[in-house]
Amino acid sequence: MNLIKLLFKNNIPRWIIFFIDIAICSFSLFLAYLIRFNFSIPKVEVIEFPLVFGIVLIIRAVVFYFSKTYKGIVKHTSSKDSLRIFTSLTISSALFVLINIITFYGINGKFPIPFSVIIIDYMLAMFLMISTRILFKLIYTEVFSPYRERKNVIIFGAGESGIITKRALERDAGFKYKILAFIDDDETKSGKILEGTQIYHVKDLPALFEKNEIAQSIISIQNISSKRKKEIVDLCLPYKTKVLNVPPVSDWIKGELSFKQIKKIRIEELLERDPIRLDDDLIRKQISNNTILITGAAGSIGSEIVRQVIRYSPKKVILLDQAESPLYDMEMELHDNYDHNPASYEIILGDIRDKKRLERIFEEHSPQIIYHAAAYKHVPMMEYNPAEAVITNINGTKNIADLAIKYQVDRFVMISTDKAVNPTNVMGASKRIAEIYTQSLNDTSATKFITTRFGNVLGSNGSVIPRFRKQIQTGGPITVTHPEVTRFFMLIPEACQLVLEAGTHGMGGEIFIFDMGESVKIVDLAKKMVQLSGLTLDKDIEIIYTGLRPGEKLYEELLANEENTLPTHHQQILIAKVKEYNLSKVQNQIEEIIHLSRENNHKELVKQMMNLVPEFTSNIW
């Protein structure tokens, strides 16, 4: 018994598998003769049998050796091993037929191996070799495997992707998991069996969960809508099952799915919306063969704009940022992932607050389009450092905008924020003043100044989701400022796509706002992330409320009270009808604000910001 356990525990040596296969072939050949001659083999066949036996085994052995049938790990037998056995037996049996034909027509007019014996032997050998391996695998799985208590798994999607997922699971981790069921929306598939597993309609899911403890639910539906994915997750989470997602086929390694590629659903996937349809031709026409300057190119938004812009074959992309390490990481990403000539992008370490440095960049590269994403954005930090907010967000923007006019840039697209609307903090007010300045420039310059305004982007540096994820990983608690606080959310790629679209269609002077969908309660977001992690709120982890930080609102807005919107060509992009400012009237005020920032006169500085932006209110200044 100990020997058997040892045999099943360890991998059987290949030479033993090879000789077992030869022994099976010997037995199947002998049994084929018995069956063919009704268990009474004629004397003439008995005389010929030793020669036939030697020929068959030698050919089988040579074919097995070259086809590597013995190399598979028996206790992990898969369909590929069965295919290898089928191929090798078919080839060797075909050689027996060839020997028969050569002998009959070229030597003595006799068939040394009866054709019926060849057919029976072929079927017997196929059955015995494959079934022996399957039997060995079943014994290991059910008796000797360390994973006898396998976890139940259900797969959403009884299509091609679902089948491939099942096979990947069985191949890579089959002893840990048991595929309990396929779940599909198609009622015509309900009750049918697919690769030995029953298909259930989605309406049967609650009963399935109540009768079974299901460890994992895998969504394996290609091109699933964001809405449907969210619905499936909402069905599963109350039953404390981990929800995983199969990546798109394009992300599979060499066209083959690996179990390790099946990842947990991330909260970002539940907040994403269906893909945006862009005017690709117009964007390509505008960007192709032009030099594009992207400020803040190493940040969350700037780096994604780089990734998207570079797809449209620009003449050159200038990546400008003052953050050394993130800029280096971006350079390595471009080097590794984009098959472009190195001259198609250039990394520049520089600060938008340094106008002389910026001027050299404009002189050398003469950009035609600017995407201005560089900014300080953390509300509490800027609230206590208003001078820094002004020097970067206002003066830095002014530097870039003034040089854009001087060097005849075609388009200047500024990335703004919903915090610029009825601002309650210095950061939001500084972005609103930057909006005012660039918009007022549009009337007096050939450069088209376009502003895009949107809310929080999921997964950006310093956003709430990475913070919650880290708190969950460390066991909590999760900190939320207020139980009623809400925010608009958008995925980084989606926001950047809309930036490109708006920047392409803008005629100059517009402030574009994006359809951010429904605002989300931050505490609901935290609870959902806890569920997705397989934890129980208030048992495994708790949520505590810390109070609103300086300058924070309970909710964000995309429009000020006196603002309205106009539709555009794109249903997710609107034009905000905002109060327009005359450049000559605001220029002196902005210069005074910049001067006060250099003097670090914070109180007077914020007062002047309020004079320029009357809707700006502050709790601490």
Please give the positions annotated as active site: 419
Q: Are 454 and 513 a contacting pair, CB within 8 Å?
A: yes
Q: Is 296 helix (H, G, I), strand (E, B) or coil?
A: coil
Q: Which residues lie closer than 8 Å to 531 by C-beta, 6 or more apart?
A: 237, 537
Comparing CA positions, the residue from 107, 113, 65, 72 lying closest to residue 93 is 113
Residue type for 593, please? I
Enclosing H/E stretch for 6: helix 2-9
Q: The tokens 């007019």 sit on which residue?
A: 109
14-36 and 115-139 helices, crossing angle to 10° = 140
Comparing CA positions, the residue from 318, 229, 295, 294 lying closest to residue 267 is 229
C-alpha pair distances (Å), 456 with each of 465, 489, 491, 571: 11, 5, 8, 20
At 574, list the tokens.
């609107």
Beta-strand runs (E) in 525-601 = 543-545, 564-567, 573-577
Q: Are 528 and 489 a contacting pair, CB within 8 Å?
A: no
Q: Are 443 and 587 a contacting pair, CB within 8 Å?
A: no
Comparing CA positions, the residue from 54, 48, 63 lying closest to residue 111 is 48
User: What string of DSSP letters covers 311-359?
Assistant: GG-BSEEEEEES-HHHHHHHHHHHHHH--S-GGGEEEEE--TT-HHHHH
Comparing CA positions, the residue from 371, 465, 501, 487 lying closest to residue 419 is 487
Cα–Cα distance, 387 to 427 (Å, whole number): 10
| Burial letters 322-349, b for 16+ CB under 10 A, else e | bbeebbeebbeebeeeeeeeeeebbbbe
Comparing CA positions, the residue from 167, 165, 164, 200 lying closest to residue 181 is 200
Residue type for 232, please? I
492-505 and 300-309 helices, crossing angle to 10° = 60
User: What string of DSSP letters covers 48-96?
Assistant: HHHHHHHHHHHHHHHHHHHHTTT-S-GGG--HHHHHHHHHHHHHHHHHH
Q: The tokens 């840990």 sit on which residue?
A: 176
Cα–Cα distance, 128 to 67 (Å, whole number): 18
Backbone conformation region of residue 425, classed left if phi is above 0, alpha if psi is from -120 to 50, else beta: beta
Geometric angle at alpha carbon 110, from 105 and 111, rounded to 5° = 95
Q: What is the largest CA-CA distance in the chain?
A: 117
Q: The tokens 């259900």 sit on which residue?
A: 154
Cα–Cα distance, 609 to 426 (Å, whole number): 8
